[in-house]
C-alpha cells in the first residue's frame, strides 16, 4: 500500500467526524458496508475509485482531496478556471467554482427546458443555499414541490432528499453555495 493510499483512511475518518457523521450514516449515503468503511478508515482495506467517489460525494469533497489532502488556500476563481460538467440525461450543465477545501463551493447551474424531474434524488451532508438568476426552477424537497422564479432563494437543509428540474420554456440559471463543515 503506498503512502498516499494509506493516508486516505484517516483522512476519511477525519472528514466524516467533522461532518458529525457516524459510520452507519456514511454507509447509508454510500451503499458501502459499515465493516468495509471501518477497514478503509483503519487502513486495512484499499478503496476502489468507485468507492472513493461515493465517499467523497457523501462527505462533500473530492476524490483528489481524499487522496492527496487539502489544497492550498484559494480565494479567487476566475472565469474559465471553473470545472464544468455536462449532464445530458438531465439537460443540466454545472460550473464548479472550488475554493479551499475548508471553504464553500459555488455552483452555477443551468437547467435546460424539458427536464421532467425523473432523475435520481440527491442528498448531502451539508446544507445548500441557492438563488434563481433567470428562468423557472422546480424544486422537490422530499414531499414539497415549489416553482422558483428569478430573485427567489432557498435552503436545502443537510440530509434532505431533493431534486430539481425545468418545466419552463427557457433555460434556468441558479447559483448554489455548499456550506461545508470545516
Domain boundary among 39, 68, 97: 68
Query: Contact 96/102 with Cβ under 8 angstroms?
Result: no
pLDDT tens, position by position, 109-145: 999 997 665 677 888 878 889 999 999 999 999 889 9
| Residue 75 within any structural domain of the chain | no
For residue 130, report the phi and psi dihedrals to the nearest 5 degrees: -135, 155
- Tell me the CATH number at 64: 1.10.260.40
* pTM flag (> 0.95): no
Structural domain boundaries enclosing 18: 3-68
Name the more confident of 166 and 71: 166
Regarding whether 113 and 40 lie in a shared domain, the answer is no
Q: Which of 163, 177, 175 lies closest to 115 in space, CA to CA?
A: 163
Amino acid at each position: 500500500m503506498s503512502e498516499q493510499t494509506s493516508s486516505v483512511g484517516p483522512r476519511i475518518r477525519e472528514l466524516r467526524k467533522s461532518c458529525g457523521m457516524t459510520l452507519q450514516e456514511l454507509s447509508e449515503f454510500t451503499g458501502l458496508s459499515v465493516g468495509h468503511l471501518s477497514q478503509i478508515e483503519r487502513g486495512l482495506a484499499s478503496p476502489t475509485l468507485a468507492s472513493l467517489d461515493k465517499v467523497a460525494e457523501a462527505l462533500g469533497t473530492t476524490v483528489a482531496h481524499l487522496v492527496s489532502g487539502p489544497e492550498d488556500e484559494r480565494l479567487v476563481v476566475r472565469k474559465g478556471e471553473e470545472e464544468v460538467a455536462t449532464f445530458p440525461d438531465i439537460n443540466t450543465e454545472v460550473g464548479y467554482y472550488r475554493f479551499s477545501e475548508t471553504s464553500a463551493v459555488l455552483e452555477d447551474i443551468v437547467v435546460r427546458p424539458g427536464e421532467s424531474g425523473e432523475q435520481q434524488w440527491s442528498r448531502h451532508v451539508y446544507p445548500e443555499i441557492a438563488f434563481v438568476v433567470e428562468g423557472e426552477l422546480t424544486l422537490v424537497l422530499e414531499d414539497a414541490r415549489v416553482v422558483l422564479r428569478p430573485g427567489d432563494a432557498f435552503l436545502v437543509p443537510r440530509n434532505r432528499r431533493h431534486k430539481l428540474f425545468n418545466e419552463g420554456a427557457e433555460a434556468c440559471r441558479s447559483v448554489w453555495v455548499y456550506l461545508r463543515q470545516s
